[in-house]
Amino acid sequence: MKILLLNPPALDLSFYGKRLLLSPCPGTGLSYLNSYLQMNGYDSKLYDFFFESWDYVEDILIKENADIVGITCLTEGRNNSFKLLSLIRRIKKETIVVFGGHHSTYMYDQLIKSFDIDYIVLGEGEEKFLNLIQAIEGKMPLESVGGIVYKKGGLVFKNSMKDGDFIKELDKLPFPLLEENLHIFTKYPSLKELHPKQVKNIPPEVSENGRVISIITSRGCPYNCQFCSTTLFWGKRWRFRSPKNIVDEIEYYYTHFGFRYFNFADDAFTIVPKRAIEICKEITNRNLEIYFDCTTRADTITDELVKWLKRAGCLFVALGVESGSRKILETINKKISPSSVIKAFRILKKNDLSAYPLLMVGNPGDNDETIHKTILLMKIIRPYRVSISKTTIFPGTDLYDLAKKQNFINDSYWLTPKPPLLYTYENSFKTMERWAFEIENYDKKLYELRILRLKLRVLGFLSNINSLTFKKRILSKRFMEIMKKYIRFIF
């Protein structure tokens, strides 16, 4: 049985651009599946088509002529997963096609009924996919494989997930295979190509030709924020790997492939500060000269944690702050307070560890007053950058259920080619844009300084131009408006 694991081509990159992607490295999901199947003796191969053309994809599918194809399907990129499915059906109709990943897990009923998919694996993939393949080979009954959805005799069946369907000991999973997949990293932007704010503090000898690699040290999250689907996906029980196992993986990438910059892609890396400290101690004890960043919750930040993060090579931390309004934080079930954010930033600043807040505009209940509170919070914590998202409705979240109750969205939305829907039930896109602008420029003086800097740059450019009329035109009010917009975009 020849198995292919595929990440579909990306969204329209001419629109999004390589640089605008949140993370500059491939996800780990398909790599985990690949190494798990190979460990169990299967002939499997991974293709990350994220930056590839459809012509290339077609050539590979013809060349590989696989028996089983597994496709990852996220909400935003779902239509490209469907397009990949059609292409496979056109090239070799009898291929067994299995869907997995976030969108497949939440929208399995719609997917299995609307598309020519043979099986869907729900949630965590390694063991279930292996069992499914064994069932396809006739080695075990299909009915005994938990957490899958399939069609039989024109009917749809769902084998419900049992508690034991989550892998208990993550340490037993093999590391994602790199030997045969190193070329994938060269497709993703290098550290040098990223925006300076994304790679703050990285020493030049690391960023020069360096690339980022993701490490997942835990699965799941014990919280349940309104806009986030993590809990439904991984289960409420938070599972984690041992510090030794994690640092073994880091050391393996470091010594064998020269990776020196790591992104801890966990949803909240320091949920248990003691465990994060142990990881940092393990890195330090092994004298690994590596650097990393992570995302986490403000209420986990302690003096001791930050000291160890710094010592182990952490260059910056992204904190899920979302809002400066206590009321909004309650509404979205964030279970933090603005004061815990202030405390976290104070500790981080004291220890000289860069940090920036992940913020949202357009949550249920947001208005000028709540945004003003976010601006006030920014004035207190004064981060070096802010990351602002407009609240977006993803399936599998409490926000999705709310929006459905409000008749703002229904499941058929996901059969359209549209991108995930912004929550504009209460506030318009324009209002959200204005709020994002106001928050981003919370510091008026800094904003004016940026404009001045840009004006000086433009004037420097103009001094090389001789025509006076051209100078006048270029310094017109209209031109300055455009420049302001440009500044907003680049800073």
Per CB under 6 A, residues contacting ligand SF4 are: 221, 223-225, 228, 230-231, 267-268, 297, 320
> What is the nearest approach in angstroms of ligand B12 to the Cβ of residue 338?
23
By CB under 6 A, name the one of 42, 100, 271, 292 that touches ligand B12.
100
Shortest Å, Cβ 132 to ligand B12: 7
Q: Which helix (H) or strand (E) holds 17?
A: none
Among 12, 14, 15, 22, binds ligand B12 (CB under 6 A): 22
Contact between 398 and ligand B12 by CB under 6 A: the answer reads no
Q: What is the DSSP letter of 408?
A: S
Interface residue with ligand B12 among 23, 255, 285, 333 (CB under 6 A) is: 23
Element (H, E) at 426: none
- Output 61 or 225, the one with its CB closest to ligand SF4: 225
Q: Which residues contact residue 166 at a Cβ distance below 8 angstroms, ignoring those fewer than 6 apart?
A: 123, 124, 234, 235, 237, 239
The amino acid occupying position 482 is I
Q: How far is the CB of 388 from ligand SF4 (least distance, A)?
A: 15
Binding mask 176-215 for ligand B12 (x = CB under 6 A): --------------------------------------x-
CB contact at 8 A, 6 and 72: yes
The β-bridge relationship of strands 68-72 and 148-152 is unpaired
Task: Give the residue with the Cβ less far from ligand SF4, 165 or 267.
Answer: 267
Q: Can you tell me which of 3, 46, 66, 74 binds ligand B12, judged by CB under 6 A?
A: 74
Angle between the 273-285 and 243-257 helix axes, to the nearest 10 degrees?
40
Helix (H, G, I), strand (E, B) or coil at 326: helix
325 binds, among ligand B12, ligand SF4, none (CB under 5 to 8 A by kind): none
The side-by-side arrangement of strands in the sheet containing 148-152 is 43-48, 2-7, 68-72, 96-100, 119-121, 148-152, 155-159
The encoded tokens of residue 180 equal 């045969």
Q: Which stretch binds ligand B12 (CB under 6 A): 15-23, 194-202, 342-350, 409-417?
A: 15-23
What is the radius of gyration, based on Cα positions, of the chain? 24
Closest to ligand B12 by CB, 176 or 210: 176
Tokens matching residue 135: 């069932």
Reduce the DSSP state of residue 366 to 3 states and report it.
coil
Say whether 172 sits in a helix, a strand or coil. helix
Pairing, β 354-361 against β 314-322: parallel
Q: What is the rounded CA–CA span in Å between residue 434 and residue 372?
A: 12
Looking at the Cβ atoms of 267 and 299, the one nearer to ligand B12 is: 267
CB 396 to ligand SF4: min, Å: 11
238 makes contact with ligand B12 (CB under 6 A): no
Q: Which of 4, 32, 185, 290 binds ligand B12 (CB under 6 A)?
A: 32
- Residue 319's binding partner among ligand SF4, ligand B12, none (Cβ under 5 to 8 angstroms by kind) is none
Residues that bind ligand B12 (CB under 6 A): 7, 10, 21-23, 26-30, 32-33, 70-72, 74-77, 98, 100-103, 121, 124-126, 129, 214, 216, 228-230, 265, 267, 394
